[in-house]
Structure 1
Amino acid sequence: MDFIISVVKDFYECCNIPVKVISSEFDNIYQIGYNDYFEEIFPSEQIKTLVNNSGSHLNIHLDKDVNIYYKVISISKFNKNKGFFILGPILNKPIINNTLSNIPYRSLECSNYMSKLILNIVDDKFDKTMNKKSFNPYIRKAIEYVHENYSQDITIDSLCNYLDINKSYFCSLFKKYTGNTFSYFLNHFRVEKSKKLLRNSNLSLLDIAIEVGFNNQNYYSMVFKKYTNMNPSKYRISTSLEE
């Protein structure tokens, strides 16, 4: 939890946007930038409906030109059970009004950038934590091996032979120190590497799949969709539209 709190504090320092962190059961975990008035207008039931409907925005109508909006972002890109960041309240237009003067104004065009920023802070802090964490030597070597060889065929058996460690003991250690299975970590790493190629190259999906270590395009697409809720082609199109 300290990790998530540090993410939210850094985001607030950068953007001065109120942020709530809620669990997947919609319990309030942490908040920053809120005052009593914000608490009164915070639409917890509407946020719950929004999240359950897989939405990302909630707008509250004030008059014909001005809305308050919220942005809902999954803490984890891959596991919604980790909870949600709620950014807002935010005004979509500047307004001179004593009651609303404390609500920050950001155009709706900014909302996607705010989402990316908070998730980039999560990724950056996670990477730094992983680098600084005092892992068991076997786990550190396994992670280094993936970073250097992810484009090759990697199996738990071959990795354990390389590390000279019992397979079941290694699997238990990896889960203990990272919170995930080795297969989850490997696929996650490969999907993230493939995202960069989808955004920044014209390689075919088959070429990208092979480049990051998947042995066929169909399996790559299946894994990509499992981790991101969209297939690689749709991801490539969505990122090109954002640009």
Structure 2
Amino acid sequence: MCLIKEICNIFYDSTHIPIMVTDNVFNSIYELGHTDNTKKLLFPIYNKNKLSLINPTCNCISLNEDNSMIAAYIRKQPRETEDYYFIIGPIKIAATLTLNEAPCRTKKCINYLTQFLSLIYANIMENFNKNYSPCVKQALEIVHKDFTKNLNVQQICDEINISKSYFCNIFKKETGHSFITYLNLYRIENSKKLLRNSTSSILDIALSMGYQSQSYFCRSFKKHVGVSPLEYRTIKES
């Protein structure tokens, strides 16, 4: 599930197009960028069971004369047997675009959108399937799933049943970072999305990322990004 979220986050941050992931009977298991209105547009498709007719690679379905959706890429999660549909949209399809029609896309873009999603998927899978040892891979899975919790090295070692000294050595050797540094970097990358796309306070963002204090979050953020969280937000808004 953490890999699905990461794929969707990268796609949405780059395109600002809603994306939904469903299981093989089209129950939503994760969505990003959707509103009540965009989800309502999808209801007739579900009710008519048109999704069951989708080509496994890519298909574009018309919702109404202004909106379409793209269903793309049935994939399998690592070590899972279930199929997942990545559904892009709805988006407006226009013959030509003007500057004030940024939410629209031309038909020419459809293949590029699906190719982009495919590239994200391949990149995430490649990184995940690096030759990490089993204990490091387990630790990374825990970080990606539970980074908002109060994690520490001893908890990880207890969970995967490994000695702390061995774990610290092999984790740094294979990832290039200590466990705490990796955890901070992962949290900071996720906090950037909230700083860009939400009005939450710095304190709320820090707490939601698993930090116990705003000051530690700000110090870590500035150390790795070069500016404070507030400065980063201001730069992105300007």
TM-score bucket of the superposed structures, by smaller chain = 0.3 to 0.5
- Give the TM-score taking structure 2 as reference length: 0.48
